[in-house]
Each structure stands twice: as structure tokens, then as C-alpha cells.
Structure 1
Amino acid sequence: MGTATGSAFDTETLRRAIEGNTGNSLLALYADDAEIHIIDRNAQPSHPKVLHGRGEIAELLDDVYSRDMTHKLDQCVMQGDHAAFTESCQYGDGTRVLAESMITLRDGKIAEQILIQAWDE
């Protein structure tokens, strides 16, 4: 487990937030002006979907955590104010999703995230 320099952000905090039943704990880890760049089959690298601020991030998390699915933090590596992690999810029907993220922390909060995700079709 790592801890970002001078912050309370650590692997177990991230695990509890990701594996929780709502997106509220995860949303609390983001800075007010955070950005998430999402890359997947619908938002390709040349035109990623970009969420600006906690309001847009909250909408995404509300949608994701309202679904019949589980979330698991598989791996997390932290170094200073950066972290990379793998999250696996599974819908009730067995469909799986795998997501890789690289985050930048500022004052112990997620300021930037690049999220690459793939799912069963």
C-alpha cells in the first residue's frame, strides 16, 4: 500500500470507495475541478469523453453505481502524487468490464484521471 505524499489518499481508501455500494465515497476522492478522460470503443483516443468537475463526475458515478454490478479494485500502484490502478466489474448477467486508470493527485484529491475501459459484448 502506498500513500501519496502529504495526503490521506491511499490504496485502501480507494478500494473502499470503488467497492462500495454507491458512488458517493468515490466522488469524495475527486477535487472540485477534476477531469476524467474516458477512452473506450465509443470514445476513442483521438476524441475521448471528457468530464469536467465533480458535477459531471457525480452524474457518471450515479449512473454506474445504479446498475446491477459489482466493482473490485484488483491492483494499485502509487508513487508520490500519481497512482495507477486496475478495476474489474461484473454485471448481474455475467458481462465483465475491465478498466485501467492513471490518476494525478493534488492536495490528496484526484485532479486528473485517464480511464481506459473494455467490456464483453
Structure 2
Amino acid sequence: MGTATGSSFDTETLRRGVEGTTGNTLLSLYADDAQIRIIDRNTQPSHPKVLRGRGEIAAMLDDVYSRDMTHKLDRCVVQGDHAAYCESCEYGDGTRVLAESMITLRDGKIAEQILIQAWDE
């Protein structure tokens, strides 16, 4: 567990959230005004997909966790008000996804996230 701006960021909750079957636990780690920038094959660095606020983040998590796939938190490093983690996923058909995230923490919650993901094609 790491410390962020006077409050702790709960990496065990992050693990339970990532590896869970719904996005609810993971959503609880985000600040109300959190922002996620997603960079992948379809939303490249010059035009990332940007999710603003817990409502948009919840919709994305609902979509992801409704799919036939598993998620695993491979590693997480917390230093001050920043953290980074690696997540590996696998669809039921064997397609694999790897996601790397860099997050900025505020009062122990995720305030900003940059997520870079790649998947088998």
C-alpha cells in the first residue's frame, strides 16, 4: 500500500477491482471528477479517447466487465501521489490484451489516468 497526498491508495482494492467480475470495486477508487485518456490502435496519442467523470468511467467499466474475459493485476508501484500498474487480460477465445496505466492520485483516489493498451489481432 502506498501513500498519496496524505491519504493511502489501497493497492489490494485495486487488485480486487481489476480481477473482479464487475467494475464496481474498481470504480470506487476514482475521484468524482477523474479523467482517463485511453491510447490504443484505434485512439492514437494525437487523438486519445478521453473519459471524464465517474459516469463515463462507469459506462466503460460496465462494458469491459460484461465481456467474456479475465483480468489480472500483474504489478503495481506507488510512489507519492503517482502509481503505475500493469494489467493482463484474456478473452474466452484466447485473445490477449495488455494494458499499462500511469495514474495521478488525489486524497487516495485516482484523479487522472493514462491507459495504453494493445491486444492480439
TM-score (norm 1): 0.96
Q: Give 1:44's aligned amino acid.
A: Q
Q: Please, which runs of 5 or more residues in structure 2 have no aligned partner?
A: none
Contact 2:8 / 2:107 at 8 angstroms: preserved in 1?
no
Q: 1:9 deviation in Å?
A: 1.6
Contact 2:70 / 2:89 at 8 angstroms: preserved in 1?
yes
**1:12 maps to which residue?**
12
Q: 1:3 deviation in Å?
A: 3.8
TM-score (norm 2): 0.96
**1:68 maps to which residue?**
68
Q: 1:2 deviation in Å?
A: 3.1
SS of corresponding position for 1:22 = coil
**1:83 maps to which residue?**
83
Contact 1:4 / 1:10 at 8 angstroms: preserved in 2?
no
Q: 1:62 deviation in Å?
A: 0.2
SS of corresponding position for 2:34 = strand
Q: Give 2:94's aligned amino acid.
A: G
**1:46 maps to which residue?**
46
Contact 2:13 / 2:25 at 8 angstroms: preserved in 1?
no
Which of the pair is proportionally richer in strand? 2
Q: 1:5 deviation in Å?
A: 4.7
Contact 1:82 / 1:104 at 8 angstroms: preserved in 2?
yes
1:6-55 per-residue CA deviation (whole Å, 9 max, x = no partner) reads 32423212101111110000011100100000000000000100000000
Q: Please, which runs of 5 or more residues in structure 1 have no aligned partner?
A: none
SS of corresponding position for 2:89 = strand
Q: 1:77 deviation in Å?
A: 0.6
C-alpha distance in 2 between matches for 1:80 and 1:4? 5
Number of residues of Structure 1 aligned to a counterpart in Structure 2 = 121
Q: CA RMSD in A?
A: 1.0
1:40-85 per-residue CA deviation (whole Å, 9 max, x = no partner) reads 0000000100000000000000000000000000011100110000
**1:29 maps to which residue?**
29
